[in-house]
Amino acid sequence: MPLDSTGKISFDHIYAEPDPRAFYGTLGRVGYLIPQLAKPYFSKLIEEYRAERGVAEPTVLDVGCSYGVNAVLQRCDVTMDQLYDYYTGPDVLALDHEALLAADRGWVRSHAGTEHIRFIGLDNSGPALAYAQSAGFIDAAIHADLEQDDPTPEQQDLLAGVDLVISTGCVGYVTDKTIARVAHGSRPWMAHFVLRMFSYDPVAASLAELGYQSVGVDGVFRQRRFASAEEQTQILEKLSSAGMDPEGLETDGWLYAQLYISRPAGAATELATVMNAVSPGSATSLAKLADPPPIGECH
């Protein structure tokens, strides 16, 4: 597969499919696990927001949501391992599109009421958003490129009701332009997992103009394995030119991300301290995802 403008392998084709099977089939082979590692941090973010603001059902905007992965993990209490097993299993691969959609709708209904969160997905992939909303993974969709355009009045109405903003790898492809446009309405709390090859500084600077404070959370988080030696070479060169030391991290074959918390009114430091106490996941889960997942069945 070709490299994109950032030096990473381009996975654009998997976001153009009418359902998530190519997405999970492709990313499972490179051990994509950042949504699983992010899950407890997002859960804690939601918990802290509920406690402080007294909001029983917060609205979460997932920037770059694709097929609604982060929403599925929260809403249905599954793991990335289970999603890989399910969407690459022979029985599911044999289903036509409508049968798969019906099965996923039934699955979401069976978990109704287990997690009181409203999810909005923002993405520039129409097919991914359409599936995520049709299956019930997300409650509303914003199909837009906020790098280029302001939100429409209808989209701005949705953004005005957002309490929390999350992302797992889109910052770097989207910039401070998108994040600032998202923040303008309701001044939501934010948690962004950002690959080390990208700087969060421009986003933090734009948010500061809106009264935000941004703080990094301790540690680094595996995103996925490099898909090729060429990709690894390109990313190592990019990190080195940016003054980032890849030794013991990207040199070992994985892309790594860092977590940044942004909150209005200078309150990010306290929230980041709370996040530092969160465990990113079990060693068993990490070990399983270090290799391509086995074919199986979930649900």
E strand map for the chain: 59-63, 118-123, 140-143, 164-168, 189-195, 212-216, 221-225, 254-264
Cα-based torsion angle of the residue sequence 81, 86, 87, 88 in order, rounded to the nearest 10 degrees:
80
pLDDT attached to residue 64: 97
List per-residue pLDDT tens for the chain, 299 residues long: 676 767 777 788 899 999 999 999 999 999 999 999 999 999 999 999 999 999 999 999 999 999 999 999 998 889 999 999 999 999 999 999 999 999 999 989 888 766 789 999 999 999 999 999 999 999 999 999 999 999 999 999 999 999 999 999 999 999 999 999 999 989 999 999 999 999 999 999 999 999 999 999 999 999 999 999 999 999 999 999 999 999 999 999 999 999 999 999 888 999 999 999 998 764 333 333 333 332 222 23
For the chain, the straight-line distance linking the first and the last C-alpha, in angstroms and rounded, comes to 32
- Cβ neighbors of 205 (< 8 A, separation 6 or more) are 176
User: Which residue is it, tokens 């770097």?
Assistant: 172
Give pLDDT, residue 8.
Answer: 74
Asked if 164 contacts 189 with a C-beta cutoff of 8 angstroms, the reply is yes
pLDDT for 266? 82
Distance CA 93, CA 101 (A): 12
Burial class, 182, CB count within 10 angstroms (exposed 0-12 / middle 13-18 / buried 19+) = buried
